[in-house]
Amino acid sequence: MQVIAVANPKGGAGKSTTALVLATTLADAGAAVVILDCDPNKPIAEWRRGDSANSVEVHGDVTEGTIYSRIEGFRGKTKFLIIDLEGTASRMTSRALQRAHLVLIPIQPSTVDANQAARAIQLIREEEEGLGRTIPYRAVFTRTAALIESRIEKEIAQDLRNAHVPCLNTKLCERVAFKAMFTLKRALSEMSAPSVAGVPKAIENAEHFTREVVTILSDNAKAAA
C-alpha cells in the first residue's frame, strides 16, 4: 500500500482538489483507492455523498488518536491511501507524515502559498529527524494558467529550485472541471461538454499528474528495495 499525504499549513492551497483529482484518476485506471478526509470541512466526504460511480472509498471519521490504526487497517486492502490533511500543523499531520511514502505540497503561484509550503517542508524535516529516515516530498503548483506562466510563478519556481525543493513537473492548472468535481460530486470522467467546459483538457492534465506521482512512488520503492 502506498500512502500519499497532501499537506500545506495554508488553507485554500488546493489540497482537497489535488487529493480528489489524484484519487479518482487512479480509480478510473482500475486501482483500489481510499481517501482519509482529515480536513475539518470534509469536502471530499461531502463529494462522496453524491452519486458518482467512481470507486474511491472515503472516510472522514479520523482523529489524531485513530489515524495510525486507520492507516494500518487498510494495509493489504487497498493500493493507494491518500490523506487530505487539515490546513494547520497538528499531531494528526505529524502522524500522517510519519507514515507517508510521498508528501504532496500544493501551492498556488503566490508568495503567501510559497511561504506556507516552506512551513510544510520544515514539518517534514522535523519528522525526518525523529524517524531517522527521509520522507519523500514534492511541491506541486495548483491553479496555474494553462498556457502562459506568470512572472510570479517563474520567480517562485526559481526560488524553489535555488532552495533545492523538488517539484512535480506537472502542474494542476486552473480549470472549471476541477472545481465542478465538488459542485457536481462527480469524477472528471463522468462530466461532459458543454455542461462543463474543458473536460478533455482537465482529464489530460489529471492523467499526466497521476502518472508522474505513480512514477515517483515506483522509483522510490525500487530505491528502497
The cell for 91 is: 499531531
94-124 per-position pLDDT tens digit: 889 999 999 999 988 777 777 777 888 888 9
* pLDDT at site 58: 97
Burial class of 176 by CB neighbour count within 10 A (0 to 12, 13 to 18, 19+): middle
Amino acid identity of 192? Answer: S
pLDDT tens per residue, range 46-74: 999 999 999 999 999 998 899 999 999 99
pTM for this entry: 0.93
